[in-house]
Structure 1
């Protein structure tokens, strides 16, 4: 059992490190390409930029999770609240921006018109502000989190919610319900509805690009479900177990704790795969990145040729002097 525990701990820690190393440069690259593009940003570009910001900020909390896997929470109460707040706020905003992208794709493909596009550009930044405000508001229960030693563990501290006001079970069920509704069920419903109608429209159109867009949409929804559904299902079981709606069992408690750690890593993996799904798969983004890289390469070549000419002039001058 000890060897299995060590292998699982090391494996989970390595997975978290890999996710961190992929998510940080991936989201930075996507944000950089979108931000310096000379063309007018579409609503999807705006939502994608804010999505990369949310995923980037969420990825910054991964090293803390990796340390927790190895030796528990060692960073104190303040960092427990701060890291939990950052994770929860960007957990909500990331998923809500995915829903915003699905709505924008629906409007562009199903209700395409110039007047609608201009209105969407005007509203997209307002929508982004509302999403960030809602995400931060939904993350406020993170201030209930504290670092403490659970009764069944004499060695390691954990960072988890402690409800000292009122009935702890009621608080936990209410907050978890908000998490499941606004962090999974509602965005998933929006995505499935918007993309289903969009796919229905694409099926009645011809062209390689339309059918490629349909395949990308299907992949986006499947990856979202694979990454997030196990986490939310495990969290629901944990909520029912803590609320004593499921008979308490020590073996089940340990199994749920392990499942939460594993499914949390799967959910975090979504933050590094988002740039691939929404950017690198998209032909428009690849063209933008190619143009930017070509422009940067030309600038470097021009600066290099200027430097070589200046050095040759200096060399000629020195030969003339001597």
Structure 2
């Protein structure tokens, strides 16, 4: 027998203790994400999609019809709303795959992953630019004339979208559906002309999301907010615009932070000695739960506008009542007259 050696003068065998480690144990149970997705995801994703699309479309209408894009900050708010819509358009596909056990075609896989990536990096970069814009305004580090300010903002946002599209090219080009067990999964297909192995690309894509989708906005926000808090008066910090920008960025970081941390630990579990059955199971479950929580973020911003921006509430009231005499662009601070007219009209 391979695991035993006979004693020279005895009638019994001696078990070699070092071989105990090679005896197979019970199989490691993996977390089955399809159970949670089938129970929760279809209704949740569809609800987030409907609420988010309606809310962000109303935000875009108010920004373009009432507030006007002559105010530079509204250009950045508009870009964030467009990014949210891109992300939300992927949710119906997520709901379908959760209910039917996977994607069905190559084109659906590309659309889902592409919209997801465009929305994620668009939100991250859009929120970062919005924070930096507030920082530059406070410290007077900006173009001198209003027309030049708008031109600078348009150029900056155009460059930002070019960067976002370049960042999402790997998702558009190399994600493909493949069969795994009873599911059709959409995953990264390693380019044949590149020598790197599959684990390298998994690590690369995770680090790209962690750095550009979370750490870069986080560090930018902390730097700008610390400087602004030291500079702004208490009255300025209580302004609607400052509170709105602050809240949008904080909500983004709080809702996407747990998913980025869970994804990082799951991808690099071997480096952190997290490969045993129990920890691997909890990591896979944590990734799935935090991903669902992060998906809800795209419908939150419209509620922040309603809660924190008095001008937005006034213009939204005008939008609902279709008041033609209030269609001119107004500043975010010109709220008192509009509130009175809107209230009397209702």
Q: Is the shorter-chain TM-score for this pair beyond 0.5, marking a shared fold?
A: yes
Matching residue of 1:305: none
Native 8 Å contact 2:49 2:92 kept in 1: yes
In structure 2, how many angstroms separate the alpha carbons of the residues matched to 1:287 and 1:109? Answer: 26
CA shift, 1:273, in A, is 0.7
Unaligned runs of 5+ in 2: 1-32, 327-346
In structure 1, how many angstroms separate the alpha carbons of the residues matched to 2:293 and 2:321? Answer: 36
Report the secondary structure of 2:187's partner residue.
strand
My pick for the range that moved more, 258-267 or 35-44, is: 35-44
In structure 1, how many angstroms separate the alpha carbons of the residues matched to 2:68 and 2:242? Answer: 25
Partner deviation per Cα, 1:70-128 (whole Å, 9 max, x = no partner): 33223212211222112112210111000111112222334288826543311111111
In structure 1, how many angstroms separate the alpha carbons of the residues matched to 2:102 and 2:169? Answer: 20
My pick for the range that moved more, 261-270 or 123-132, is: 261-270
Change (3 A) 1:213 1:127: closer
Matching of residue 149 in structure 1 with residue 149 in structure 2: no
In structure 2, how many angstroms separate the alpha carbons of the residues matched to 1:181 and 1:42? Answer: 30
Native 8 Å contact 1:199 1:214 kept in 2: no
CA shift, 1:188, in A, is 1.6
1:266-277 to 2 correspondences below 5 Å: 266-277=293-304
Native 8 Å contact 1:12 1:262 kept in 2: no
Report the secondary structure of 2:238's partner residue.
helix
Q: How many residues align?
A: 292
CA shift, 1:38, in A, is 6.7
Native 8 Å contact 2:104 2:184 kept in 1: no
1:74 to 95, 103, 125: 103
In structure 2, how many angstroms separate the alpha carbons of the residues matched to 1:71 and 1:194? Answer: 45
Matching residue of 1:197: 227
1:245-264 to 2 correspondences below 5 Å: 246=273, 248-264=275-291
My pick for the range that moved more, 108-117 or 136-145, is: 108-117
Root-mean-square deviation (Å): 3.1
In structure 2, how many angstroms separate the alpha carbons of the residues matched to 1:161 and 1:13? Answer: 24
Matching of residue 120 in structure 1 with residue 149 in structure 2: yes
In structure 2, how many angstroms separate the alpha carbons of the residues matched to 1:84 and 1:8? Answer: 17
Partner deviation per Cα, 1:19-48 (whole Å, 9 max, x = no partner): 112111000100111122374532210111
Change (3 A) 1:71 1:228: same
Report the secondary structure of 2:183's partner residue.
coil
Native 8 Å contact 2:46 2:95 kept in 1: yes
CA shift, 1:162, in A, is 2.6
Matching residue of 1:176: 206
Matching residue of 2:216: 186
In structure 2, how many angstroms separate the alpha carbons of the residues matched to 1:292 and 1:64? Answer: 31
Matching residue of 1:288: 315
1:18 to 47, 65, 75: 47
In structure 1, how many angstroms separate the alpha carbons of the residues matched to 2:66 and 2:57? Answer: 14
Native 8 Å contact 2:210 2:260 kept in 1: yes
Unaligned runs of 5+ in 1: 300-322
Change (3 A) 1:100 1:114: closer
Structure ID, larger Rg = 2
Native 8 Å contact 1:30 1:279 kept in 2: no
Matching residue of 1:306: none
In structure 1, how many angstroms separate the alpha carbons of the residues matched to 2:145 and 2:221? Answer: 20
* TM-score of the aligned structures, taking structure 1 as reference length: 0.79
Report the secondary structure of 2:275's partner residue.
coil
Change (3 A) 1:205 1:111: farther
Give the helix-richer structure, 1 or 2: 1
Native 8 Å contact 1:89 1:135 kept in 2: yes
In structure 1, how many angstroms separate the alpha carbons of the residues matched to 2:139 and 2:262? Answer: 36
Report the secondary structure of 1:36's partner residue.
helix
Partner deviation per Cα, 1:211-260 (whole Å, 9 max, x = no partner): 5555545533432222011110011012213x766453454444333322
